Every structure is written in structure tokens, then in C-alpha cells.
Chains A and B, each alone.
Chain A
């Protein structure tokens, strides 16, 4: 069974530029999550989708971050414009049922200069 796929794995941009990350969850998983993991901290939930609807985006900085999950499968997370403090690993995860058992991708490491 294929795991959660993410791209790109690494991205370096200047502040105020934009960036987009892509995630393809495990086939059949209805719930998709985006987490931000800053160095030395635990992952923080940015947004949670159930199919193509948003369940929780309370910690998403909506002035610069946006996410969509068209057709309830793939998802894209965008940052525009990026700030230095956005440097982090962005983890995508999916789950078959909502119990907390998540399957994570390898993450996309963003460096903002």
C-alpha cells in the first residue's frame, strides 16, 4: 500500500515570496491533515479536512496561509507571502477513521531567507 506522498521535499525561498506544497493521501482515507513542525517543537495542526470540507482551521494563519482539497483527494497548502518564522517542516497526514491514528508523509522542509 502506498503511503502519504508529499512534494517538494525541500524548498528555499526569500521572505515575501510564495510557496506551495502538495499532498496525496493514502487511497480511501477521508481525513487529511496539515501540520507545521518548527525545529525543537511538536507538530502543530494547521488544518484538517474531512473529504473536501474543512473540519478545523483554527490555527491556520489565514492572512498568509491557504489550503484546499479539491475532489476530496489531493491537497495543496500555500503560503503567500512567506515570513522568516514560517521556516519549518510541513507534514501531511491522512487517516481512514477519526481516532487519532494518523499516517504521515515524510514532510516538506521550508527555509525562508
Chain B
């Protein structure tokens, strides 16, 4: 079945540590790929996106993600986490030519310890 999987429900890191959030997808063709962030009580904000081309994409707030076709993955990374990065992170996909319906994973909640 077609799906977006975020294996980690909750991750805790110390401020200043590096971060990697995992995302895998299961679709026949490579979809458009996105990471959104949701701070408590807020709507979602786009961090970065991948459509084609360079497989390492840069986003806002110092985040980056790497698309790996062989692993059907689009993992989000940040070299040094700040306390303000505590939020919920959602991986999402759009199947090309499907009315551009955005389908989300279940999210990963990030806690940052001081």
C-alpha cells in the first residue's frame, strides 16, 4: 500500500547535538517530498521540499534533507539543534499528477533538553 512512514514517534536530543529524523515512502514512482514543522498550537510551516535535481536540499532554520532513491527515504537533518526547534515534524508527499494531494506521515515529536 502507498504510505509515508516516520518510524520515530518521539525523539529527545540535547541542545547543540545533531539531529536526524527519518522518513520513508512507499510509492511506485518518486513523489514530490516535503518536510513541515508544527510548533505547539500553531499551523504547519514548510521547512523544505524536493522535486528533482540535487538530492541534498537546504531549507529554512538551518535544516537540510537528503533524498535517497535506493532507500525510498527523505531524512531531515540539522547539525546543531536549538531549544526553539522543539516541535512536531511531518514528512509529506505529493504523487505527481494526482491533483497534487499532500499526504502526511504521522509525525515525529522533537524534545530538546537544555
Interface pair A45/B41, CB less than 8 Å apart:
no
Quick one: which of A42, A105, A107 has the most chain B CB within 10 A? A42
Interface pair B43/A4, CB less than 8 Å apart:
yes
Give min CB distance, B100 to chain A, whole Å.
4
Question: Of the 9-residue stretches A68-76, A77-85, A94-102, which lies at the interface with chain B?
Answer: A94-102
Interface pair B100/A104, CB less than 8 Å apart:
no
B63 at the binding interface (Cβ < 8 Å) = no
Complex alpha-carbon distance, A4 and B93, angstroms: 22
Q: How many contacting A-B pairs (Cβ < 8 A)?
A: 59
Complex alpha-carbon distance, A106 and B38, angstroms: 10
Residues of A within 8 A of B103 (CB): 45
Complex alpha-carbon distance, A103 and B36, angstroms: 10
Give min CB distance, B15 to chain A, whole Å.
25
Count of chain A residues near B, Cβ 8 A: 23
Interface pair A107/B107, CB less than 8 Å apart:
no
Residues of A within 8 A of B43 (CB): 4, 91, 93, 104-107
Complex alpha-carbon distance, A98 and B103, angstroms: 14
**1/0 per position for B88-107, CB-CB distance to A under 8 A?**
00101110000111111111
Q: A99-B32, A106-B41 are in contact. Are A48 and B101 (CB under 8 A)?
A: yes
Residues of B within 8 A of A42 (CB): 4, 90, 92, 104-107
Q: Residue on A with the closest CB to B88?
A: A42
B84 at the binding interface (Cβ < 8 Å) = no
**1/0 per position for B41-80, CB-CB distance to A under 8 A?**
1111110010100000000000000000000000000000
Q: A55-B99, A107-B43 are in contact. Are A41 and B90 (CB under 8 A)?
A: no
Per CB-CB distance, the 7 closest pairs between chain A and chain B, nearest first, are: A42-B104, A104-B43, A100-B94, A98-B100, A104-B44, A106-B43, A42-B106
Q: List, sorted by A's number, 19 A–B pairs whose CB atoms are closer than 8 Å.
A: A42-B4, A42-B90, A42-B104, A43-B90, A43-B104, A44-B104, A45-B101, A45-B103, A48-B99, A56-B101, A98-B100, A99-B32, A99-B100, A100-B34, A101-B34, A102-B46, A102-B102, A105-B43, A107-B42
